[in-house]
Chains A and B, each alone.
Chain A
Amino acid sequence: MATVMIDLKRLGDVKAPAGFADHVLAQAGMADSYAVFETVLGPVYVAWNRLGVSAAMRSNSAAEFEAWFHEEVGRRMVRVDPPADLVAKIEDQLEGTRRLRFDLRGLTPFSQAVLRKTLEIPRGQVRPYGWIAREIGHPAAVRAVGTALANNPIPYFIPCHRVIRSDGVIGNYGGGGPEAKKNILTLEGVQLKRLQELAHAGFRYEGVRSTKVFCFPTCYHGRMAKERNIVHFHSEQEAHAAGYRPCKHCRPAVVA
């Protein structure tokens, strides 16, 4: 009798496997799960929870990603096998054919507004920092927009690479420096060379003679226009003076 009971007592001393608590908390939505995905950009670490994707980073190691997440977000996280459907969803998101949900908790309302607005920029197009500032109702906060984008916790997914300086300089990029930014934009079909030639010449807007509408140069409106019908403007005033109205899609100026 006694030995059986002693043995049984030992059975009660068993410990839960390592990481058990984190897994449970992740399933309850109190910790983020993460996995590494092979994407067109190379290996990308992605974290998510029940609210959506919460962080992304191109990194060489899980340790680096975990340290960064801990620093920036502060929640627990557990590594899991990538769910099969998430792989497809992420590819679709990067292809621009799907909108994922994002968890932006912990960011300031201003940063959230900047990132949500950035999500509206279509693949293959770019906008200046000032455009974001104006669209979210803080036209003077151009630098703050730059800061918010530089601290984007979910680069690639929230396409901060589609925001560039109005003078045509590509600008810095947290997701791997200016070169990475150029590469991603090229991958998305932006004609950087043409864009920069225009910027160097001081042209910021492109108008179409037949419609009298002016756009940002990468806007898809006016793509079908013949080359001889395209005109360029240095400024909003110049476009207005020539009798052009701002495009309602890319909104290069406040649409009256």
Chain B
Amino acid sequence: MEGTERVFERLVLDHQNRIYALGLALTGNRHDAEEVAQDTFLRAYRALVTFPPDRVRELKQKAWLHRIAVNVVRNRVRGVRPRLVELNGSEPARGPGPEEDVMRKAEIDELAARVACLPARYREAVVLRHVQELSYAEVADALGQPVGTVKANVHRGLKLLRGETHGDGDD
């Protein structure tokens, strides 16, 4: 039990920025990002304490956390369209981080809001591949989809982000 707590502490410290960034890219605002990240780690904790020691040791932490985070977001927004966040930030500002000046923060938030407007399947694929920079194999694993599907979704997502209309005829 003590050992698990050590592992969890490291897990949080090592991955907090990555998972928060993932939350921001998937939800489009910092408030939800924080909730998603918290939820992700707490679910990870509850699972971790039930794992036998060798499973904890062999855990691929990054992939595992991404999978949990994607599910957290999916469960949150089920039935709810991602809301459009006002570009100049009606979100309560938490104050910019050390190296994030205000300009940069506004740009980031605007970008996150744009990404959040993508349909879920494109958004997940694009974010994991190009924000989190996972390999296609890792993205496929985290999303539980075939690699080909992921590649297609990344491609279409990027197209939408660049403002090209998608003429593929899908939904």
Contact = CB atoms under 8 A, between A and B. Distances in A.
B42 A8 contact: no
Contact of A11 (B19, B21, B30, B97): B21
A71 interface: no
A12 B12 contact: no
Interface band, chain A: 20 to 34
Interface SS of A by simple majority: helix
Interface stretch (A21-29, A44-52, A205-213): A21-29
Interface in A1-54: 1, 4-5, 7-18, 20-21, 23-25, 27-28, 30
Contact of B16 (A11, A20, A27, A28): A20
Interface in A137-192: none
Contacts of B18: 12
B24 A11 contact: yes
B38 A23 contact: yes
Interface of A: 1, 4-5, 7-18, 20-21, 23-25, 27-28, 30
B18 to A, nearest CB: 8
A17 B34 contact: yes
Interface in B40-96: 41-42, 45, 94
Contacts, number: 89
A27 to B, nearest CB: 6
A24 B16 contact: yes
Given A17-B34, A17-B97, A12 B25 contact: yes
Interface in B1-27: 5, 8-9, 12-13, 16-21, 24-25
B24 A10 contact: no
A25 B12 contact: yes
A115 to B, nearest CB: 24
Given A11-B21, A24-B16, A25-B12, A16 B158 contact: no
A26 to B, nearest CB: 10
A24 B45 CA distance: 10
A15 B20 CA distance: 7
A17 B18 CA distance: 12
Contacts of B111: 7-8, 10-11
A225 to B, nearest CB: 54
Nearest to B19: A16
B158 A5 contact: yes
B37 A16 contact: yes
Contacts of B132: 12
Contacts of A11: 21, 24-25, 108, 111-112, 115, 127, 131
A33 to B, nearest CB: 14
Contact of B12 (A15, A18, A24): A24
B147 interface: no
A24 B42 CA distance: 7
23 contacts: A1-B162, A5-B158, A8-B25, A8-B115, A9-B130, A11-B21, A11-B111, A11-B115, A11-B131, A12-B132, A14-B20, A14-B108, A15-B20, A15-B100, A16-B20, A17-B34, A20-B34, A20-B38, A21-B12, A21-B16, A25-B8, A25-B9, A30-B5
Q: Which of A1, A17, A30 has the most chain B CB within a 10 Å cutoff?
A: A17
A14 B94 CA distance: 13
Given A12-B131, A24-B38, A28-B8, 18 more contacts: A5-B158, A8-B115, A8-B126, A8-B161, A9-B130, A11-B131, A14-B21, A14-B108, A15-B21, A17-B30, A21-B12, A21-B16, A25-B8, A27-B38, A27-B42, A28-B45, A30-B5, A30-B8
A24 B41 contact: yes
Contacts of A28: 8, 41-42, 45
A20 B13 CA distance: 9
Contacts of A9: 130-131, 133
